[in-house]
A and B are shown apart, each in its own frame.
Chain A
Amino acid sequence: MTFKLQELAIGDAMPVLQLPPISRTTLALFAGASGDHNPIHIDIDFACKAGMKDVFAHGMLSMAYLARALTQWVPQRRILSYGVRFAAITHLGDRVQCSGKVVEKLTHAGRPCARIELTAAKSTGEVTLAGQALVALD
């Protein structure tokens, strides 16, 4: 990362992060790593009883992937706020792509900041997470 944060401009794009297809192994490991033990993500019997065809990915997995993309672009300690809305379910085999861009420059609590719009989407283009981060540029 060699660019200067202060020079971030509206429209600047975060490098795209393309993830491999979601696997059952990833969901099992993420359940343990994240503390999200909801069986709907790891137990097909439970998922079927709940009316789903199969287990599906934790929303927080994609939120963590999106944070990975963001922290590969800007230092983590500059992130003042990070939030998402979970817009669609991510299924097994889906390939999540994370992208983002600067949409606003502003002053927050006396600090120069950028508001970054963040998106996770499937290869079909369907948006799964729509979010934003507030990043300090000082």
Chain B
Amino acid sequence: MIDKKHIGYAPPPILWDVEKGRIAFFARVVGLTDPIYTDEGAAKAAGYRGIVAPPTFIFGAPGDSGETMQLIETLEIDLGKVLHGEQRFDYHAPVCAGDTLRFQSKVTDIYDKKGGALEFVVNDTKVTNQLGEHVADLHSVIVVRHG
């Protein structure tokens, strides 16, 4: 069982640069063809400060930084048993190439179901940018399967 003492665990904040090459790569893999994801002129014509990060792009930060793996180690979870249960993004302002985002996450709940056969870790993350704007909130639930 995951020790519930980890509720409230908050790793150091991550600083993550939003790179246009990475956005273009992501857009190509997922099949996004709107030029706001690849062309600065098109993005500005659409009213953005710069090339736009697609809706789920910022989820890359906790993976890139190693925060996700660190969380799994800290909570002593077997990576092979982890599934993504839920994911939500609340958007407050656009994220554009050239931004530096700050992610502050916190474990907000740990619970189990089916007599402990399934364990759940809830993580909430506040995302702000270099202008001090609160750009998004991430709400993640990971599931640990036993047996």
A→B interface (CB under 8 Å): 19, 26, 29-30, 32-40, 46, 49-51, 58-61, 63-65, 67-68, 70-72, 75-77, 79-86, 89
Contacts and interface: CB of A to CB of B under 8 A. Distances in A.
B22 A86 contact: no
Contacts of B29: 26, 29-30, 33
Among A34, A50, A63, A67, max chain B CB count under 10 A is at A34
A38 B82 CA distance: 9
B115 interface: no
A86 B86 contact: yes
Given A30-B29, A32-B25, A64 B91 contact: no
B16 to A, nearest CB: 9
A35 B59 contact: yes
A46 B80 contact: yes
B56 A67 contact: yes
Given A36-B60, A64-B55, A82-B56, 13 more contacts: A34-B56, A34-B60, A35-B59, A40-B79, A40-B82, A64-B26, A67-B56, A71-B32, A79-B91, A80-B90, A83-B89, A84-B86, A86-B85
B contacts with A: majority SS: mixed
Interface of B: 22, 25-26, 28-32, 34, 36, 46-48, 52, 54-56, 59-64, 69, 79-91, 94, 139
Contact of B88 (A40, A49, A58, A83): A83
Nearest to A51: B80
Nearest to B78: A50
A71 B34 contact: yes
Nearest to B138: A83
Contacts of A33: 22, 25-26, 28-30, 60
A40 B80 contact: yes
A70 B79 CA distance: 31
